[in-house]
Structure 1
Amino acid sequence: MTSSHIIVLGDPSNHRPDYTWNPQWIFPCESPWGILEKFKLANNANVTDIFNTLGTEYVDSLKMRTSWSKKLRNLTTLEGFSDQKAHKILGNSFVSNTKNIMTRMISVLPHFLIGQNQKLIRENVAFCGKCMQWGYHSVLHQIKLFHICPFHPDQNLETKCLDCSREIPYVLSNTHTESPFRCLCGKNMTNLPKHGEFYFDIWKKAKGLKIQLLEIKKWISLTPEQLERLERIYFHRNDDLDNRPNTLLYFLQFVEPSTKENWPTIQYNVMRSASYIVTLHGEQERKFLANPEYGGFKSFFQRQHFVYQVLYNCSLQVFKSIDRHLRKTVFKDHCNCIRYFHKDVQNHEEVCAYALTYILWKQHIEQINNYWDVVNRRRIGLRKMGVNFYSKQDSHYLNRIFERWERIQGDVAHTGWTTSCWIFTKLMAFLVLNHLKNWAEVVPEFARKRILDPVISFDYKNLPFYIIFFPKVKGESAEFHYWNNTVSYQTALKQANLTCPFVKARSHKG
């Protein structure tokens, strides 16, 4: 590591400094990537030089000091960097500062996500073009909740090189850039120094940057009541939040619906239960509670089994209602196609795409082995152990959410029976109708090729973002919020180009 033309001591007691640095080159919320890129540029340093200077005791103890694992180079966990050395040499405790910023921005969400920070942090460098001109890169740029620069609200965050569209991994590396702040294609991410101007002078232009984006200002100033409200939610988190640029607005709308002209709004839907739902007892529950054997340790398992049975029965009734509604509406003209589907595939070259959509949808929800059993209306039974929902396709997903509900409510077997049914019937209906949309999207090709038993897993593709609020005490409603950023199932079926070869003979019998 060679020193540059100006040496600024990070430690006055060091009489033989071999690095160039000025603590004034670091600004609030600056990311470890930005800080270390500056350090590499100012000192013509590489990864080994940085670990020799800023590495932890564990890094110092390694015998092989030429090859560094991705775990040590990770700039999200920062496991390879000593906070004490960073403070002593750089004048900035960037390890603890970064973690504090992450906690402040992310821990607003429920605790079950705190241990999954990796899912909320971008794996590749995201940057603002204006900030990067000054060699400034913020920790906030890496958080997937934010898609606009907090300091320049008119700038969308970039995730690829503006010249070659190459991504730069968010790790300390010698190979992912040609030189500090320069893509492998040669594109310089910062402004080139003018005549008589050094990089150091350019870096100082970032001084005074302040958060300007209204949404982030609101996010970091939520009230204790709003934070407590966020603690009792579940939201769809199976997909990458990088693909949902409005997620931050969704959370803000949930805690405080906008009524101000200057506050961005997005159309969404909300369903709320009665405010006394936590203490509301259904007829079956009242009969059970009136039983003189109710109470005691032994009764706990009886209550638990009863709750599970009630949940299953509620989900079954909801699915039967949806099934009946679909047959009377979107599949009304193709009921005979469904009824005689097995005969049609034996006697005709073509198949009805509407019937195939319905059959595949129902077959996978009920996990039926053969499509002809769907037509025969074979019904799956209730498993003996554990919580069950009629949609077997969503069993694991719904069980995970039920565990979250149990942690919030406590003894669901003692209370919250009606609330459980309200929450999970709404959610299951939401899921199964989304599955129908996904099947409608792919079935036209299957129908043309006569593929009747495709092996396909949609997971939760195209599922609108939703938030469930779990009530805990009397006076609180259960809530189901969803942002309908995709088409309805009715529209999806109309747009899917489904065809029926029997359109002129809907009463055919094979």
Structure 2
Amino acid sequence: METKSLPIMLFDERTLTPSFGYVFDPKWLDPFESIVSILWKLARMNRLSGQAITTQLAKSDIDPYEGLAARRSEVDLCRLHLTLGLPLKLVRDSVLPDALQAVSGPHFRYCRKCLCRGYHSVVHQIGANKCCLVHGDMLEIACLTCGAKAPYRLNVALLDAPYRCGNCGHLYGASPPVSPRNKRPFNKKARIAITRLRWSYFAYF
């Protein structure tokens, strides 16, 4: 039996708007995904370059290779909300408030098991958190293959290498991430743990 697939999307990279088909499916997301995790799914599922995405993120023109900090004062949240068709609150929650920058890590921090399901949480970037609340594993801050650390900036180097080290190209996780279309939702215990930690930091922002 012939299987049906979603239509191929033709993008105008200057506006990141599809000429045909869906840009993004909210069902691909788990609670409190980081903006990096969201953009990696956008890039992976629509075959978009890091440069095409980065140039659409800032409130003004930027060098996509330098990029911008993943903070609310620099990211154009309203544009992302309209482009991805996601609730503005969800997009806002994916980016750290400026007031928390002092306690956030300067480098990309990740759980290897989370990345195997294509997930990275905004709370992974809070420096006081040493372990993943879902799996209990220590959060990594460097590639286990080459030792390189990726600055937590939305730039071509980070967005061109979904789930991989931009320096050596090896996967951050133990295996390639599952397709967003095929992943199973987090169980109730994991969702509660992530939500509680998020609110412990973001309650007033």
Return the TM-score normalized by structure 1.
Answer: 0.32
Question: Aligned-pair distance for 1:156?
Answer: 1.2
Flag the 1:75–1:27 CA change in 2: closer, same or farther, 3 A. same
Q: Which residue of 1 aligns with 2:82?
A: 88
Q: Which residue of 2 aligns with 1:192?
A: 176
Question: Aligned-pair distance for 1:25?
Answer: 1.1
Q: Which consecutive aligned stretches of 4+ in structure 1 deviate over 6 angstroms post-superposition?
A: none
Q: Which residue of 1 aligns with 2:64?
A: 68
| 8 Å CA contact retained: 1:34, 1:136 | yes
**Structural RMSD (CA):** 3.6
Q: 1:281-339, CA deviations, whole angstroms, 9 ceiling, x for partnerless residues?
A: xxxxxxxxxxxxxxxxxxxxxxxxxxxxxxxxxxxxxxxxxxxxxxxxxxxxxxxxxxx
Q: Which residue of 1 aligns with 2:49?
A: 46
Q: 1:396-421, CA deviations, whole angstroms, 9 ceiling, x for partnerless residues?
A: xxxxxxxxxxxxxxxxxxxxxxxxxx
Q: Which residue of 2 aligns with 1:205?
A: 184
Q: Which amino acid aligns with 1:170?
A: Y
Hey, what's the Cα distance between the residues in 2 that align with 1:218 and 1:38?
A: 24
Question: Aligned-pair distance for 1:181?
Answer: 1.2
Flag the 1:124–1:19 CA change in 2: closer, same or farther, 3 A. farther
Question: Aligned-pair distance for 1:30?
Answer: 0.3
| Among candidates 116, 139, 142, match of residue 133 of structure 1 | 116
1:79 aligns with 2:74: yes
Question: Aligned-pair distance for 1:97?
Answer: 1.9
Q: Which residue of 2 aligns with 1:169?
A: 151
Question: Aligned-pair distance for 1:95?
Answer: 4.1
Hey, what's the Cα distance between the residues in 2 that align with 1:199 and 1:217?
A: 25
**SS of alignment partner, residue 200 of structure 1:** coil
Q: Which residue of 2 aligns with 1:25?
A: 28
| 8 Å CA contact retained: 1:19, 1:43 | no
Question: Aligned-pair distance for 1:138?
Answer: 0.2
**SS of alignment partner, residue 210 of structure 1:** helix
| 8 Å CA contact retained: 2:36, 2:159 | no
Hey, what's the Cα distance between the residues in 2 that align with 1:218 and 1:76?
A: 17
Structural mapping, 1:96-175, within 5 Å = 96-98=92-94, 102=96, 115=99, 117-152=100-135, 154-175=136-157
**SS of alignment partner, residue 122 of structure 1:** coil
Flag the 1:20–1:217 CA change in 2: closer, same or farther, 3 A. closer
| 8 Å CA contact retained: 1:6, 1:20 | no
Q: Which residue of 1 aligns with 2:39?
A: 36
Flag the 1:207–1:171 CA change in 2: closer, same or farther, 3 A. same
Structure number having the greater helix percentage: 1
Hey, what's the Cα distance between the residues in 1 that align with 2:84 and 2:6?
A: 15
| 8 Å CA contact retained: 2:54, 2:156 | no
| 8 Å CA contact retained: 1:73, 1:171 | yes
Q: 1:428-448, CA deviations, whole angstroms, 9 ceiling, x for partnerless residues?
A: xxxxxxxxxxxxxxxxxxxxx
| 8 Å CA contact retained: 1:122, 1:144 | yes
**Gapped runs of 5+ residues in structure 2?**
10-16
Hey, what's the Cα distance between the residues in 1 that align with 2:19 and 2:198?
A: 44
Computing the radius of gyration from Cα coordinates, the structure with the larger value is 1
Flag the 1:217–1:169 CA change in 2: closer, same or farther, 3 A. closer
Q: 1:252-307, CA deviations, whole angstroms, 9 ceiling, x for partnerless residues?
A: xxxxxxxxxxxxxxxxxxxxxxxxxxxxxxxxxxxxxxxxxxxxxxxxxxxxxxxx
Hey, what's the Cα distance between the residues in 1 that align with 2:199 and 2:73?
A: 28
**Gapped runs of 5+ residues in structure 1?**
104-113, 228-510
Question: Aligned-pair distance for 1:98?
Answer: 3.2
Question: Aligned-pair distance for 1:119?
Answer: 1.9
Q: State the structure with bigger RCO (CA 8 A, min sep 6), 1 or 2.
A: 2
Question: Aligned-pair distance for 1:47?
Answer: 3.4
| 8 Å CA contact retained: 1:73, 1:173 | yes
| 8 Å CA contact retained: 2:110, 2:139 | yes
Q: Which amino acid aligns with 1:74?
A: A
Hey, what's the Cα distance between the residues in 2 that align with 1:78 and 1:6?
A: 35
Q: Which residue of 2 aligns with 1:431?
A: none
Q: 1:38-63, CA deviations, whole angstroms, 9 ceiling, x for partnerless residues?
A: 111222222332145x445x43xx4x
Hey, what's the Cα distance between the residues in 1 that align with 2:18 and 2:159?
A: 33
**SS of alignment partner, residue 148 of structure 2:** coil
The number of equivalent residue pairs is 185
